[in-house]
C-alpha cells in the first residue's frame, strides 16, 4: 500500500522575503508607504503609535525612510551640471596618447557609445578607428 503525502504549496517569493526580513516584509512595506504619506514632522509619532513596543520594526521603517529621503531623485540635476560643462566637452584622450601599440592620431568625433579616434598601430603600421 502506498500513501500520498500532501505538500502545501508556498509562494516561494513570499517565503524568501519573509526569511530575509523576519519582521514581516508586508508590514514593513505597509508602514513605510503610510509614513511617506504623512508629514515629515508627524512621522516619529506615527511610527511610535503603529509599532508599539516593536523597536526592531520601527528601526527598520525609519532606516528605509532615511534612505528614501537621502536618495532624492536621481534625475534632479543633469550630470553635466555636476561636473561642469567644460569637463563634459573636453576630449578624454589627447593626440599622441598611447594604448598598447596604438597611438592616437586625431579625434574623429563622438557617437552614441563614446568618442571615436583615428589611431595608428605602431607595430603593424596600420591605421584603425578606436572607440
pLDDT digits (tens, 9 = 90+) for 47-96: 999 988 888 888 989 988 888 888 776 555 555 555 555 545 555 788 88
Give 88's contacts (C-beta < 8 A, 6+ positions apart): 79, 80
HEC secondary structure over 58-109? HHHHHHHHHHHHHHCCCCCCCHHHHHCHHHHHCCCCCCCCEECCEEEEEEEE
Please provide the average confidence, as pLDDT, over all residues in the chain. Answer: 76
Q: pLDDT at residue 43 above 70?
A: yes
Alpha carbon distance 43, 70 (integer Å): 16
Report the side by side order of strands in the sheet with 102-110. Answer: 98-99, 102-110, 115-121, 126-130
How sure is the predictor about 8, in pLDDT bands with cuts at 50, 70 and 90? very low
Chain centroid, CA 17 distance in Å: 20
The model's pTM is 0.43
Confidence of residue 114 (pLDDT cuts 50, 70, 90): confident
**pLDDT (0 to 100) of residue 13:** 55
Does the pLDDT value for residue 101 go beyond 50?
A: yes
Domain-by-domain residue ranges, the chain?
14-71, 85-130
The interaxial angle of helices 43-51 and 25-36, nearest 10 deg, is 150
Amino acid at each position: 500500500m502506498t500513501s500520498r503525502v500532501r505538500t502545501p504549496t508556498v509562494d516561494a517569493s513570499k517565503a524568501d522575503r519573509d526569511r530575509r526580513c523576519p519582521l514581516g516584509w508586508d508590514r514593513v512595506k505597509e508602514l513605510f508607504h503610510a509614513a511617506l504619506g504623512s508629514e515629515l514632522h508627524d512621522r516619529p509619532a506615527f511610527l511610535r503609535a503603529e509599532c508599539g513596543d516593536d523597536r526592531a520594526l520601527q528601526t527598520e521603517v525609519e532606516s528605509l525612510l532615511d534612505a528614501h529621503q537621502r536618495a532624492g531623485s536621481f534625475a534632479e540635476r543633469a550630470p553635466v551640471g555636476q561636473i561642469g560643462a567644460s569637463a563634459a566637452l573636453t576630449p578624454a584622450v589627447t593626440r599622441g596618447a598611447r594604448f598598447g601599440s596604438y597611438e592616437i592620431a586625431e579625434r574623429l568625433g563622438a557617437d552614441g557609445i563614446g568618442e571615436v579616434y583615428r589611431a595608428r598601430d605602431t607595430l603593424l603600421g596600420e591605421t584603425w578607428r578606436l572607440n
